[in-house]
Amino acid sequence: GFGHFYAYAPEKFEYPINRFTMEVKRQMDVLDRELAAHRYLGGDEYSIADIATWPWYGNLVLGEAYGAGEFLQVESYMNLRRWAEEILGRPAVQRGRKVNRTWGKPSDQLHERHDASDFELKTQDKLAPESAA
């Protein structure tokens, strides 16, 4: 939907961009209103609803997806932003964002994870430069 037509499609077509923009904004409005009444999407406890929704909507409202924050006026969704920032601050989310990441700071990249200690020992900043084989 939105991400494809806004950021990835080889040609920019106005109709699908507008159509999916309005749908994303409608959904962000629904989430924002729910989060005005509750700390999390399913109520006052962190749940699978938050875990499943945060990767796309959290990154979107934090301006980290498609470079579309200004276009979508994400700053107007204050409750959604509060929720996204709170979840981003969770240690498990911080660790999870590193797994299979191949961009950004080397300390935020963990190309493969096989053990909990990999977060401390095997991020790209801690690995020796690979030799050309």
Task: Give the CATH number for residue 57.
Answer: 1.20.1050.10
In this structure, the answer to whether residues 122 and 62 fall within a common structural domain is no
Q: Which of 89, 109, 124 is the last residue of a domain?
A: 89
pLDDT for residue 130 is more than 60: no
Encode pLDDT of 30-41 as tens digits.
999 999 999 999
Over range 36-60, report the average pLDDT. Answer: 97
Encode pLDDT of 58-85 as tens digits.
999 998 888 899 999 999 999 999 999 9
What gap in Å lies between CA 95 and CA 98, rounded to an integer?
A: 5
Over range 96-104, report the average pLDDT. Answer: 83
In this structure, the answer to whether residues 24 and 71 fall within a common structural domain is yes
The percentage of residues in the chain with a pLDDT greater than 90, rounded to a whole number, is: 65
Per-residue pLDDT, 96: 87
Over range 13-26, report the average pLDDT. Answer: 96
In this structure, the answer to whether residues 71 and 105 fall within a common structural domain is no
In this structure, the answer to whether residues 19 and 68 fall within a common structural domain is yes
In this structure, the answer to whether residues 11 and 55 fall within a common structural domain is yes
- For 83, residues 6+ apart whose C-beta sits below 8 A from its C-beta are 31, 35, 39, 40, 41, 50, 58
Over range 17-29, report the average pLDDT. Answer: 96
pLDDT for residue 132 is more than 80: no
Q: Which residues pair with 99 in a beta bridge?
A: 110
Q: How many domains does the chain have?
A: 2
Over range 105-126, report the average pLDDT. Answer: 83
Q: State the residue range of the domain holding 44.
A: 2-89
